[in-house]
Amino acid sequence: MKYIKSTILILLILLVIPVSAKNKIDPDRLKSKCESILGDNQGTIIVIDLKSCRPIVVLNPTIACSRESRPGSVFKLVTAAALLEKGKIDPHEKMNCKNNFRFMDKKYICSKTGGHGKVNLFEAIAKSCSVYFYEKSLRISESDLKNTAEKFGFGRSMPSVSAPSKPSPGKCTPPSDPRLFIEFAVGDEKGIKITPYQSANMLCIIATGKPLEKYGDDPEFRWNTLKILRKGMEMSAKTGTCKLISKSGIDGAGKTGTPTNERIPDKTHGWFIGYMPAKNPRYGVVVFLEDGNGSAHAVPRGVEVMKILR
Ligand SMILES: [Zn+2]
């Protein structure tokens, strides 16, 4: 009997040791790997422990916490949340993206030549269809969108996170002109500016329902709203702008952004926010590139980080 008990104990220890060793992340080693992944690019990489809602790595903290820039399509998640929270949208209802959207005296273009075709909310998040969000954003008011963005932490001061300089609150002032408002709703208008660390906070809220540690109270989004955003991000990782995640054999979710770069004419920023695993998020990854494209430049770097974490 004694022999059986000690054999069971040894077997248990053997089973537990590899699991805990695998789950243990050395922050210094991870930071040095993230530095190599970022390379010579100006920008930041942030890794979040989604179980504790604490950052594990924050590269270039001044850029992470103080660099304000347009979020681009990452902000479509905020517009989607506002539409869902206000009950203004059926996420399964499809609309037809024919590449452009004519509104008042302006023509707005979607990223895909020929259009995305029929898309519902999940597909619009996954494929980052701007026409879908231009059209649907007209169902919500400036204050609806502003309030939702503020619940995600945009446009308000945040506590310091070991940054050498004072964290920036960013900017969140939706324009009253509807022609500009619909550009604001897709994150590419001068009234919306966020820091990479704020996007990490949004990622944490979407993945867990809770903000980053020290980032204030639970924003109390409906669980179904967050579930729908996550489903769109999961679809993005499978078939959309972040499909490199699943192509690399990673079970995760993500969203890209490629907004106007106000500092360098004709250039864009590259954004990626993502988490893994898809169903029980453990780690969040943010990549912000001063000069770059979301799916072409930020996603591959985010995926390299995810490969280390899996
Ligand atoms: Zn489209």
pLDDT tens column, 183-225: 999 999 999 999 999 999 999 999 999 999 888 888 999 999 9
pLDDT digit string (tens) for 229-254? 999 999 999 999 999 999 999 999 99
Between the CA of 166 and the centroid of ligand 1 the distance, in Å, is 38
Rounded CA gap, 303 and 272, in Å?
A: 10
Q: Dihedral sign, CA of 294, 295, 297, 301?
A: positive
Residue-range domains of the chain with CATH: 25-309 (3.40.710.10)
Q: Cβ distance 285 to 305 under 8 Å?
A: yes
pTM of the predicted protein model: 0.92
Between the CA of 143 and the centroid of ligand 1 the distance, in Å, is 26
Q: Which helix (H) or strand (E) holds 117?
A: strand 117-119
In sequence order, the 6+-apart residues with CB closer than 8 A to the CB of 266 are none
Between the CA of 182 and the centroid of ligand 1 the distance, in Å, is 14
Q: Which two tokens stand for residue 282?
A: 């453990």
Does residue 3 carry a pLDDT above 60?
A: no
Peptide bond preceding 259: is omega within 30 degrees of 0, i.e. cis?
A: no
Taking residues 90-108, what's their average pLDDT?
Answer: 95
SS3 of residue 256 by DSSP: strand
Between the CA of 293 and the centroid of ligand 1 the distance, in Å, is 17
pLDDT at 217: 82
Does residue 1 carry a pLDDT above 70?
A: no
In sequence order, the 6+-apart residues with CB closer than 8 A to the CB of 122 are 91, 228, 231, 232, 235
Does residue 13 carry a pLDDT above 50?
A: no
pLDDT digit string (tens) for 286-303? 999 999 999 999 999 999
Q: Cβ distance 59 to 35 under 8 Å?
A: yes
Between the CA of 276 and the centroid of ligand 1 the distance, in Å, is 27
Between the CA of 288 and the centroid of ligand 1 the distance, in Å, is 24
19-to-12, 16, 56, 238, 295 alpha-carbon distances in Å: 11, 5, 20, 27, 33
